[in-house]
């Protein structure tokens, strides 16, 4: 491998590491700022809605009376809140709350077609409860952090409703669900990913340019030595260089000058020898001494050049070369992982948007399934897993999109191997209701009941922490779900935490080739 390529690889890796560190520091700040901006928006919306409400009329409304929803004042306030919701394009409702005590509030006017007026809201989470109390007690517009309650995960803006005496008679609350926040955060993550992908060719070009710039003096040194070895001793153009490279260039220039000087001496000596035949014996001794001098003068600068070349070779092809190879292997692995991540993102996007074009053909499920299982035997052996694939009660030839089926099975097999740390995994194909079912049963870490509802959501894992044990982008089961839906298969997953998981893909009779 050429020296400039090695330098370019090192520079490329260092540049990307620096970029990742910067993104690691900046991304949490960007996300926190986004939530803050959203909270300010909700607070401003609540404040504008509260100002538009006549507090004197509001406090006269008895929300415990079911007929209050037909009261003109009630309808007027609801109409104002509905207009605000429509004009701002809000997805969640705007509503008023009246604080009964520190743990309970009463729903008032809501924009929801189904009226919740008079219903009691139990303030189970400290975040909205403290915000509501603060808005009441301090006559203050406020927004909350993300919090969970009996209706979901929210961020809320609150503003007090004042009567003509400046007394708080109620609070307007505007919510945004976690889905809205996650959509914005997901968009930021996608934008950052696209920028990173676009920046890759820039860093490659920059690394190559810098690598070639720093290796240019070495190329010039080699060129000068080749020039001397071919008999061309013409003067060279000066090049700025430092360290060992400068010494090599100086040695090459000294060699050129020495050869020219020795050539001149040779020509002079030969001329004298032709004109001093009577001094043959003396001339013979002189010739021997002269040749010894030439040998010394040529060998010395050459040894200097070769010595410095060896030093330079050891510097870049010794342990440094092994370090560079380790770096290149890690770069290769990270690239493949990203490509894979991008491919998965592209496939999920096509499946989710309905733009994927399905191409069905005859597929042998047995051959496809067990060939994919074979690909994981090496990893399973390294983890001490036993793969059981002798359960085959039927021969399955179906009409399906081979890419979708292969992607689904690959993701399921990969999950079973990845999330199992010991024991065995069983792969099985059997008959079921005139169709066939594909089973994957492991005794790995399993899935908690709480996470089962989020199992097929994209970019979700049960452990989303930075220090999580298992890598992944959280797209695997989301892709499997979409692939099965598009292919007309049924996907069923049963799991118990710390005991294992059973996955069943049911292919109905209509998909069988001989049905």
- Domain check: are 139 and 206 in the same one? no
Range of the domain at 471: 357-511
Residue 249, domain member (yes or no): yes
Q: Are residues 150 and 203 located together in one domain of the fold?
A: no
The DSSP symbol for 123 reads: -
- DSSP H/E element including 365: helix 365-374
Q: Say whether pLDDT at 328 is over 70.
A: no
Query: What are the tokens at 296?
Result: 């010394």
Same domain for 102 and 9 = yes
Instruction: Tell me the pLDDT band of 170, cut-offs 50, 70 and 90.
Output: very high
Task: Output phi, psi for 512, to 5 deg.
Answer: -70, 140
Give the pLDDT of residue 299: 42
CB atoms within 10 A of CB 426: 17
Whether residue 134 is found in the same domain as residue 30: yes
pLDDT value for 326? 52
Domain boundary among 320, 345, 380: 320
Helices and strands: H and E segment counts in the chain: 12, 14
Q: Is residue 208 part of a domain?
A: yes
Q: Is residue 94 part of a domain?
A: yes
What is the Cα–Cα distance from 416 to 427, expressed in whole angstroms? Answer: 10
Q: Is 343 within the bounds of a domain?
A: no
Selected residue with higher pLDDT from 104 and 27 = 104
Q: 141 and 222: one domain?
A: no
Same-domain pairing of 43 and 119: yes
Residue 49: both structure tokens together: 């809605």
Cα–Cα distance, 122 to 93 (Å, whole number): 18
Residue 369 counted as domain residue: yes
Mean pLDDT of 506-514: 85
pLDDT score for 460: 81
CATH number of the CATH domain containing 451: 3.30.565.10
Question: For 62-71, what is the mean pLDDT?
Answer: 87
Bridge partner residues of 493 (DSSP): 503
Q: Is residue 61 part of a domain?
A: yes
Examine the fold and report which residue of 304, 320, 336 is the final residue of a domain before the chain moves on: 320
Looking at residues 437-456, what average pLDDT do you find?
A: 88
Residues 309 and 374 in one domain: no
Would you call 428 exposed, middle or buried from its count of C-beta atoms within 10 A (0-12, 13-18, 19+)? middle
Q: What DSSP line would sit under 409-422, residue for residue? A: HHHHHHHHHHT--S
Instruction: Tell whether 67 and 172 lie within a shared domain.
Output: yes
* Domains: count for the chain: 3
Model pTM score: 0.39
User: Are 195 and 245 in a shared domain?
Assistant: yes
Residues 254 and 381 in one domain: no
- Whether the per-residue pLDDT at 394 is higher than 80: the answer is no
Rg (CA), the chain: 39
Q: Is residue 424 part of a domain?
A: yes
Residues 380, 446: one domain?
yes
Q: Are 237 and 217 in contact (CB under 8 A)?
A: no
Identify the burial level of 170 via C-beta atoms within 10 angstroms of its C-beta, where 0-12 means exposed, 13-18 middle and 19 or more buried. Answer: buried
Same domain? 258 vs 385: no
* Final residue of a structural domain among 184, 209, 233: 184
* pLDDT at residue 313, as a whole number: 42
Over residues 245-265, the pLDDT tens digits come to 667 767 777 777 787 788 788
Determine the Cα–Cα distance for residues 443 and 387; give it in Å rounded to an integer. Answer: 12
How many whole angstroms separate alpha carbon 229 and alpha carbon 225? 6
Q: Residue 105 in contact with residue 172, Cβ under 8 Å?
A: no
Q: What is the pLDDT of residue 240?
A: 64
> Is 105 domain-assigned?
yes
pLDDT of 466 strictly over 50 = yes
Least confident window among 8-22, 151-165, 179-193, 206-220: 206-220
For position 78, which CATH number holds? Answer: 3.30.450.20
């Amino acid at each position: 491998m050429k020296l400039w390529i090695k330098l370019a690889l090192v520079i490329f890796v260092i540049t990307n590491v620096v970029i990742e560190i910067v993104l690691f520091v900046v991304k949490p700040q960007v996300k926190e700022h986004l939530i803050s901006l959203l909270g300010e928006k909700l607070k401003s919306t609540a404040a504008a809605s509260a100002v538009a409400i006549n507090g004197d009329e509001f406090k006269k409304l008895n929300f415990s009376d079911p007929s209050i929803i037909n009261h003109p004042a009630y309808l007027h306030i609801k109409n104002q809140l509905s207009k605000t919701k429509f004009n701002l394009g809000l997805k969640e409702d705007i509503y008023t709350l009246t604080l009964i005590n520190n743990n309970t509030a009463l729903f008032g006017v809501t924009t929801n077609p189904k009226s919740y007026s008079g219903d009691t809201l139990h303030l189970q989470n400290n975040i909205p409860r403290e915000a509501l109390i603060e808005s009441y007690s301090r006559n203050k517009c406020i927004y909350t952090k993300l919090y969970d309650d009996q209706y979901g995960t929210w961020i809320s803006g609150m503003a007090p409703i004042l009567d003509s005496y400046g007394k708080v008679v109620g609070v307007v609350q505007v919510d945004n669900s976690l889905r809205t926040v996650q959509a914005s955060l997901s968009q930021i993550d996608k934008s950052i990913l696209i920028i990173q992908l676009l920046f890759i060719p820039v860093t490659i070009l920059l690394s190559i340019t810098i690598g070639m710039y720093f290796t240019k003096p070495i190329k010039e040194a080699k060129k000068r030595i080749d020039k001397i070895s071919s008999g061309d001793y013409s003067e060279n153009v000066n090049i700025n260089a430092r360290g060992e490279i400068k010494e090599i260039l100086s040695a090459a220039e000294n060699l050129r000058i020495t050869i020219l000087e020795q050539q001149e001496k040779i020509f002079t000596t030969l001329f004298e020898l032709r004109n001093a035949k009577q001094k043959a014996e003396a001339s013979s001794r002189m010739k021997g001494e002269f040749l010894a001098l030439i040998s010394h003068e040529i060998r010395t600068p050459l040894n200097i050049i070769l010595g410095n070349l060896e030093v330079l070779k050891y510097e870049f092809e010794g342990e440094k070369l092994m370090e560079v190879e380790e770096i290149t292997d890690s770069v290769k692995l990270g690239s493949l992982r990203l490509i894979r991540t991008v491919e998965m993102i592209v496939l999920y996007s096509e499946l989710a948007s309905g733009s994927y074009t399905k191409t069905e053909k005859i597929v042998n499920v047995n051959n496809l399934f067990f060939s994919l299982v074979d690909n994981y035997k090496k990893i399973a052996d390294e983890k001490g897993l036993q793969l059981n694939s002798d359960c085959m009660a039927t021969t399955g030839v179906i009409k399906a999109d081979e890419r979708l089926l292969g992607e689904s099975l690959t993701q399921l097999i990969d999950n079973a191997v990845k999330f199992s740390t010991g024991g065995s995994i069983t792969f099985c194909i059997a008959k079921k209701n005139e169709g066939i079912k594909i089973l994957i049963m492991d005794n790995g870490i399993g899935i908690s009941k709480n996470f089962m509802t989020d199992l097929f959501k994209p970019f979700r894992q049960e452990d989303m922490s930075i220090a999580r044990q298992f890598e992944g982008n959280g797209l695997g089961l989301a892709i499997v779900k979409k692939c099965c839906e598009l292919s007309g298969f049924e996907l069923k997953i049963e799991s118990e935490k710390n005991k294992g998981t059973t996955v069943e893909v049911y292919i109905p009779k209509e998909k069988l080739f001989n049905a």
